[in-house]
Amino acid sequence: MTAEGTFYWRVASVGADGDVGPFSNAYHFRVGGGGRDSGQGNVDAPAPSLTLKKPYPIGGPFYMIEGTTNPGATVTINDEDVEVESNGHFKKLVSFNKIGRNAVVVKAINAAGKPTVQSVSVVVEE
pLDDT digits (tens, 9 = 90+) for 70-115: 998 999 999 999 999 989 999 999 999 889 999 999 999 998 889 9
Q: Can you give the pLDDT at residue 23?
A: 81
**Which of these, 12, 28, 118, lies nearest to 65 by C-alpha position?**
118
Average pLDDT, the chain: 85
Q: Can you give the pLDDT at residue 32?
A: 59
Strand order in the sheet with 115-124: 80-82, 74-77, 100-109, 115-124
Instruction: Judge: domain 5-124, CATH 3.90.110.10.
Output: no
Q: Report domain extents, the chain.
A: 5-124
pLDDT digits (tens, 9 = 90+) for 1-12: 455 566 777 888
